[in-house]
Amino acid sequence: MMKLKKKMQEDAWLRIFTKMKKSLIQKIRIPDGVDLNIDNNFVIIKGPEGENKKKFNFGNLRVKKENNEILIFHERATKNEKKQMNTITAHIKNMIEGVQKKFEYKLKICFSHFPISVEINGNRAVIKNFLGEKIPRKAKILEGVDIKINGQEITITSNNRELAGQTAANLEKATKVGKRDRRIFQDGLFMTNKAGKDI
Residue 14 has pLDDT above 50, yes or no: no
Nearest to 159 by CA among 87, 105, 91, 100: 100
Average pLDDT value for the chain: 88
194 and 154 in a single domain? The answer is yes
Q: Are 185 and 113 in contact (CB under 8 A)?
A: yes
- Between CA 145 and CA 110 the distance in angstroms is 23
108 and 191 in a single domain? The answer is yes
- Long-range contacts (CB closer than 8 Å, 24 or more residues apart) made by 29-36: 29/68, 29/69, 30/65, 30/68, 30/69, 30/70, 30/96, 31/96, 31/100, 33/100, 34/96, 34/99, 34/100, 36/65, 36/70, 36/96
pLDDT at 191 (0 to 100):
93
Picking from 23-27, 59-63, 178-182, which range would have the lowest pLDDT averaged per residue? Answer: 178-182
Which residues on adjacent β-strands are paired with residue 197? 194
Q: Are 146 and 162 in contact (CB under 8 A)?
A: no
Domain boundary among 69, 100, 131: 100
Radius of gyration from C-alpha coordinates of the chain: 24
Domain boundary among 100, 118, 143: 100
Which residues on adjacent β-strands are paired with residue 110? 188
- This prediction's pTM: 0.81
107 and 95 in a single domain? The answer is no
pLDDT digits (tens, 9 = 90+) for 37-55: 998 899 999 999 999 999 9
Local confidence band at 2 (pLDDT 50, 70, 90 cut-offs): low
Which CATH number goes with the domain that contains 62?
Answer: 3.90.930.12
76 and 93 in a single domain? The answer is yes
pLDDT digits (tens, 9 = 90+) for 94-127: 999 999 999 999 999 999 878 999 999 999 999 9
Picking from 47-51, 57-61, 86-90, which range would have the lowest pLDDT averaged per residue? Answer: 57-61
Nearest to 128 by CA among 140, 116, 139, 120: 116
109 and 81 in a single domain? The answer is no
Three-class SS of residue 5? helix
pLDDT at 134 (0 to 100):
94
pLDDT at 10 (0 to 100):
56
85 and 148 in a single domain? The answer is no
Local confidence band at 1 (pLDDT 50, 70, 90 cut-offs): low
pLDDT digits (tens, 9 = 90+) for 122-175: 999 999 999 899 999 999 999 999 999 999 999 999 999 999 999 999 999 999
Higher pLDDT pick, 79 / 21: 79
Nearest to 153 by CA among 181, 124, 118: 118
Q: 167: burial class by Cβ within 10 Å (0-12, 13-18, 19+)?
A: buried
Residue at 40 is within a domain: yes
Domain of 155, in residue numbers: 103-198
pLDDT at 85 (0 to 100):
93
Residue at 10 is within a domain: no
